[in-house]
Amino acid sequence: MKIKKYIISLCLVISVSVAANVKPGEETGEFHYFNVTNPAGFIEAIDEHYESDCAKKWQSESGAEVVVMGVLGSVHTHFIYVGYKNNDMLEKGRSIVNACPETAKLIKKLSKNSEPTDYVSRLGEQSLEVGDWTNDKHFMKFDFNVELGKAPVYAKEWTKMMNSLEQTNSAGLITHRAGNGWMSHFVYVGGDSIDDL
């Protein structure tokens, strides 16, 4: 599998230009954060799994889209997104991939090539989106924790901000529903280049 996207996670406040037309998102997915100690071994493990018959069946029957991204400005060096069209396809995909013997091998190899204590796994949905992130090559991503009960307020303010700015490629608000780690949400902005961001 070739790495299709790169993600930049920066802890900076910046001005960005993003499209209007904020709409509810449709995707749901798994978000896996790793602190990789052996990048070549890590990617090789993913490639081996990706080439297996079981992984091919998993992706063809569930529509799973797997994206590996490099991360800057975080304890995590890599991020794997496994996206599905909806929750039904997520459930179907997880049942197929979890039954693959190759998946157990993948998990072991990913752990061997990363710092296991830094691993974070979240299950989330794209609550709001602008544009189509799959057309972008570079991203800025901001993880944060919204105070309990304040998510609708944050979503409303995020939507107002997105609608007030000029159009750029893509942006989104992800709401985490389950998993470990401190973050409840993240927002991202996508572009064709680092300069676009």
Q: Above 80 in pLDDT, residue 149?
A: yes
Q: Which residue has the tokens 């081996």?
A: 48
Question: CB-side exposure of 7: number of CA atoms within 13 Å?
Answer: 25
User: Mind listing the pLDDT tens digit for each residue in 2-30?
Assistant: 443 333 332 222 223 333 455 566 788 99
Q: Which residue has the tokens 């449709």?
A: 26
- pTM for the full predicted model: 0.76
Q: Which residue has the tokens 């070549």?
A: 40
User: Mind listing the pLDDT tens digit for each residue in 62-121?
Assistant: 999 999 988 887 889 998 999 999 999 999 999 999 999 999 999 999 999 999 999 998
Q: What is the CA radius of gyration of the chain?
A: 17
pLDDT value for 7:
32
Cβ neighbours for 52, distance < 8 A, ≥ 6 positions apart: 100, 102
Domains assigned to the chain: 6-191 (3.30.70.100)
Closest CA to 126 of 174, 89, 86, 170: 174
Using CA atoms, how far apart are residues 101 and 136, in angstroms rounded to an integer? Answer: 33
Using CA atoms, how far apart are residues 43 and 41, in angstroms rounded to an integer? Answer: 6
